[in-house]
Amino acid sequence: MTGITVRPARTSDVRGIRDLISPLVEQRILLGKELVTLFEAVQEFRVAEDENGTLVGVGALHVMWEDLGEVRTLAAAADWRGRGVGHAILDRLEADARELGLSRLFCLTFETEFFGRHGFTDMGSETVDPTVFAELLRSTDDGVAEFLDLARVKQNTLGNTRMIKHL
């Protein structure tokens, strides 16, 4: 879309990312992340900015396994929704995923129609082979636990849909 640029996030974007997502965290749409966690994950983030350099959207790609990644923390600024920001960021995250060699993208979301239009489907009971499952169980990351549908993250997954896209 015109007027919007999607680019890798910089450390100077992190407080803006926190401010953009904090109302969504309060509404329990997105999981809250400490500022230090956002800094640690800055290389995973892409941001969209308008012609004035104002942050208008954000999204992250987290690698979970050789072929598997997760789309995280995707959000458009409230006054920019429905103008293509979300799609532009998701397109970029998918391109990044392909470049990394991933072939499956997971997401946990209330926005099933938006992700559905991007080719994501309800993953139902789709999982990974038992050897990989056992390896993934060693992770302390909540997103990995959500992918595995573990009891310890049920409070995060309630009402959400676990979706997958084969790239």
Least distance CB 78 / ligand ACO (angstroms): 8
Least distance CB 71 / ligand ACO (angstroms): 5
Q: Which chain residues interact with ligand ACO by CB under 6 A?
A: 1, 24, 29-30, 71-76, 81-87, 107-111, 114, 117
| Closest CB to ligand ACO: residue number | 86
Report the phi/psi class of residue 80: left, alpha or beta, with left for phi > 0 and alpha for psi in -120 to 50.
alpha
Measured CA to CA, the distance from residue 140 to residue 142 in angstroms comes to 6
Per-residue buried b or exposed e for 95-107, using 16+ beta carbons within 10 Å of the residue's own CB: ebbeeeebebbbb
Angstrom distances, CA of residue 115 to CA of 29, 30, 40, 132, 137: 15, 15, 26, 26, 26
Return the structure tokens found at 158. Answer: 């309630």
Nearer to ligand ACO, 43 or 131 (CB): 43
Least distance CB 34 / ligand ACO (angstroms): 17
Nearer to ligand ACO, 112 or 139 (CB): 112
Least distance CB 89 / ligand ACO (angstroms): 7
Nearer to ligand ACO, 6 or 75 (CB): 75
